Chain A
């Protein structure tokens, strides 16, 4: 479960203070499917970064699975991030000189999982995402949709409880985007908490719960389709 309590995140831009998150309180149940929408600069990426433990709130508290995270040090944050949270990015962020297999394997290497144990886990995930025949290709030999599926596999390989997707279909054509969405929604159906940040209403509306943000505040929060 994710619980944000009066979270603010301030940035200093020049001599101006920007409130990227302004007093956000939010509770997200495990297994929920949430979309975050809003114009550029409304704070949705910052919200995602805070939830993903990449960024710390300036004030307020963030509790992830009954654990207060504000007090954790950098290494504990990295550790928690590795085990509980998977990221998918708009521009994929695959390591260009590694094969698909090695990219997916990377979090396991960082977590110190033994090589013998890594192989079956990576193989199974690539298989689930129908990437088996692509496992020894490098990213530049893959299509956009395939790259994003590799990224999904990499996000899932540590079996996180939360999957965060920042514009996951932003760089993809419609068909590949649909494939990718289907893949992550499938994961959500298996119980993972899915949070998707998007500009696209069509994609946003597929979620169960919808957040709309503006100027760092959550201005709308509803479940199901808007009446």
Chain B
């Protein structure tokens, strides 16, 4: 019973903190896919306009254009610039058709996003406004349209235009809200023609070093402002800032969960006290005997405390086993969620278990130590 209570307490701490930590890492992982040293420029002021992926930001006063992206490239310490246009379009090949998100970008996208191609190659580098009819497709798109047959060099209809498939993206999970497996990437100018729009969804800017990020951010803002008649109508986000914010949110979440779990440990502690009280009253005669044999108060006290500690420790061990098993089970069920408690959660859980064992074992142990040997032996109390 006691082991169970302790075990559940410790397991709760481990699973709950594991959940919080997993959520944090999941989000961090999402952003990691964006690549490092990344600055994201999006049209509209963040205070006034919400940005939804796939939605054109028509309500901003001025669109972000390819010319703006080129101007960003001129800023010192900017290594790569990848403009993005996003839309959805029906695609078809060999008589099979489906609707997928279509991403218009440049060759730089591959490096900026830390992505790789498994087959063929990515969009060829070249002039940004040359409209080439080539595309790169996600792994799922490849499988569904071309099956096991060859995909490279095949023709693919996107909307009203035909493209030649030059590469297949590596499966890499999600990227800025899109599943890379479900994506078709075309040159940015082709996308402009496809969606009949000049405006960019966002511009990804990669700097040469982490240190220059802040400076580049400010300059990017200044450059766009100058080009937009002094209107500061874009939002510039650095990935670090985003990550830090999410990190803080999820750390708070994890700590809250750990706190809740700790309360269950305290409840387990009260159970420890109960069990120990029963143990003391059941063994009154034994305590009396120990005293008659010359045990000091301190010895009796430490004896019962040690017992409470051992019980708590056993409970903690059971709890860790149960928590691990539960985590393993969740990982099997939802492989996307990297459920694993951070090591401090284990330490915290075990320490809380032991501390509550000692704290709540103290009262019964003191009661045992204070027993009058004469009365304890005669069983009068």
Contacts and interface: CB of A to CB of B under 8 A. Distances in A.
Given A75-B298, A93-B285, A54 B293 contact: no
A157 to B, nearest CB: 9
A89 B292 CA distance: 11
Nearest to B303: A110
B286 interface: yes
Nearest to A154: B293
6 contacts: A54-B374, A78-B296, A81-B294, A83-B294, A110-B293, A110-B294
B363 interface: no
A49 B372 CA distance: 11
Contacts of A54: 291-292, 373-374, 377
B292 A52 contact: yes
Given A52-B292, A110-B290, A75 B374 contact: no
B292 A110 contact: no
| 6 pairs of A and B residues whose beta carbons are closest in the complex | A82-B294, A78-B296, A75-B296, A107-B293, A93-B289, A54-B373
B294 A55 contact: no
B295 interface: yes
A111 B294 contact: yes
Contacts of A52: 292
A182 interface: no
A48 B293 CA distance: 15
Interface string A106-137: 11001100000000000000000000000000
Contact of A49 (B286, B293, B297, B374): B374
Contacts of A87: 292-293
Interface string A86-110: 0101000101000000000011001
A79 interface: yes
B234 to A, nearest CB: 78
Interface in B142-169: none
Interface residues of A, number: 21
Given A54-B374, A93-B377, A74 B293 contact: no
A89 B378 CA distance: 10
A17 B357 CA distance: 41
A79 to B, nearest CB: 7
Contact of B286 (A75, A81, A95, A107): A95
Contacts of B295: 78, 82, 110
A74 B297 contact: yes
Interface residues of B, number: 17
A54 B293 CA distance: 10
A182 to B, nearest CB: 24
A79 B377 CA distance: 18
A55 B297 contact: no
Contacts of B374: 49, 54-55
A158 B373 CA distance: 19
Interface of B: 285-286, 288-299, 373-374, 377
Nearest to A89: B377
B305 to A, nearest CB: 16
Contacts of B299: 110
Given A93-B289, A93-B377, A75 B297 contact: yes
Interface string A56-93: 00000000000000000011001101110001010001
Interface centre among A75, A78, A82, A95 (most CB of B within 10 A): A78
Contact of B294 (A89, A93, A107): A107
A165 B294 CA distance: 16
Nearest to A111: B294
Contacts of B291: 54, 78
Contacts of A74: 296-297
Nearest to A80: B294
Given A107-B293, A110-B293, 5 more contacts: A54-B373, A78-B291, A87-B292, A89-B377, A110-B299
A95 B294 contact: no
A81 B297 contact: no
A79 B296 contact: yes
Contacts of B296: 74-75, 78-79
B289 A95 contact: yes
A172 B262 CA distance: 54
Nearest to A46: B374
Nearest to B292: A87
Nearest to B285: A93
B181 to A, nearest CB: 64
Contacts of A82: 293-295
A63 B292 CA distance: 19
Interface in A17-51: 49
Interface in A151-166: 154, 158
Nearest to A166: B377
B294 to A, nearest CB: 2
B267 to A, nearest CB: 30
Contact of A78 (B285, B288, B294, B377): B294
Contacts of A111: 294
A107 B294 CA distance: 7
Given A93-B289, A95-B289, A110-B299, A158 B377 contact: no
A55 B296 CA distance: 14
B375 to A, nearest CB: 10
B222 to A, nearest CB: 79
A215 B373 CA distance: 23
